[in-house]
A and B are shown apart, each in its own frame.
Chain A
């Protein structure tokens, strides 16, 4: 079971209290962008086996969005962090590196 800690209200709850919001830290290419970049933004997702950054909403709780870094293969959660950032914070990256030394880093 996937357990997440909402950084907005401090609750640690299981997956059913949250709603997934897909891959995190996307650049929202829009009109005027290169059409390949726009197409990739709309349709292409990383879908890795391993470390993944995601958006989640505490839908049945405080209602707020946040980010989570987790392993898609084991459901291990490396950490959750604020939605008000466009890249994972250093402490999250360190926590991942400590547990997955072979991980190539956030790109």
Chain B
């Protein structure tokens, strides 16, 4: 087995907000009928969670599950378990129209930590990031600059963001630049 390495091997930068490449994360794209009993059971077996409502993400001790579109979920699991869980899901959904793919190695994950996180993301995403409009439990697929990305909050001051691994280094540079000391509003 080759030694898997995340895109920036855990690099971080300390500006007004701390940006960290969060390492390897198991991610499974699951497409199918989100109301199907078989699929609901398979998701519960994989991450111990129910199907999230539209544009919501559920987290628990076994991982997470995010609503990506009306027929698509993103499962967040341990990196080492992703292949086995993907196989389990495919097995559980045999005979049902679906697609389960282990996309862990196609993605990069970043943590954006600090009170200015909302301001950093708002520089590049056409999204209302005020606390009234976006909070813990929400997920938003959008763009950061010109890069496709999705993000959610793990606590009041921390965002997690996923993007394609192929643009991971640029995403890190973009976020680092957007989080430069002195570049955020003074009311923070």
A residues contacting B by CB (< 8 A) are: 8-11, 13-14, 16-17, 60-64
Contact = CB atoms under 8 A, between A and B. Distances in A.
Interface stretch (B11-19, B37-45, B140-148, B151-159): B140-148
A22 B49 CA distance: 40
A36 B91 CA distance: 51
A14 B70 contact: no
A64 B70 contact: yes
Contacts of A61: 141-142
Nearest to A6: B69
Contacts of A14: 126
A11 B72 CA distance: 16
Contacts of B148: 60
Contacts of A16: 126, 143
B103 interface: no
Contacts of A11: 55, 140
Given A60-B141, A60-B148, A62-B141, A9 B70 contact: yes
Contact of B142 (A8, A60, A64): A60
Contacts of A64: 69-70
B141 A8 contact: no
Contacts of A17: 126, 142-143
B interface residue count range (under 10 / 10 to 19 / 20 to 34 / 35 or more): 10 to 19
B54 interface: yes
A50 to B, nearest CB: 27
Interface in B104-161: 126-127, 140-143, 148
Nearest to A64: B69
Given A13-B126, A13-B127, A62 B142 contact: no
B65 to A, nearest CB: 16
A8 to B, nearest CB: 6
B68 interface: yes
B55 A10 contact: yes
Given A60-B142, A60-B143, A61-B141, A9 B126 contact: no
A63 B69 contact: yes
B147 to A, nearest CB: 9
B70 A62 contact: yes
Contact of A8 (B70, B140, B143): B70
